[in-house]
Amino acid sequence: MITKKQIEEVLKTIPDPEMGVSIWDLGLIYNISITKDTVSIIMTLTTIGCPLFDQIEEQIRKEIGKLSGVKKVDVELTFEPPWSMDRMSDTAKARLGFV
């Protein structure tokens, strides 16, 4: 059975192409749900209109799809609530020079 922890570990390895920090540490992931063999992710971007969503989405689908038992990966983009730097992990803040 697929676990949220497994998915989180994968998301921690996927960098934001512009920032070089994982999408997990940036706080871009709002929700992860698992139904049988389908993983659904709700995420945001640091800015509305960021042209890199397709690239990020493709990498999420590819990497999570490698997990045993995953047959389908759905990625939904939302801007509610809007992303803010408060969502970043301490690791991301330190790496980007905010602490």
In tens, the pLDDT along 36-86 reads: 999 999 999 998 888 899 999 999 999 999 999 999 999 999 999 999 999
- Which pTM does this prediction carry? 0.93
Question: What is the model's pLDDT at position 31?
Answer: 98
In tens, the pLDDT along 6-23 reads: 999 999 999 999 899 999
Task: Give me the domains of the chain, ranges plus CATH numbers.
Answer: 4-87 (3.30.300.130)
- DSSP letters, the chain, are ---HHHHHHHHTT-B-TTT-SBTTTTT-EEEEEEETTEEEEEE--SSTT-TTHHHHHHHHHHHHHTSTT--EEEEEE--SSPP-GGGS-HHHHHHTT--
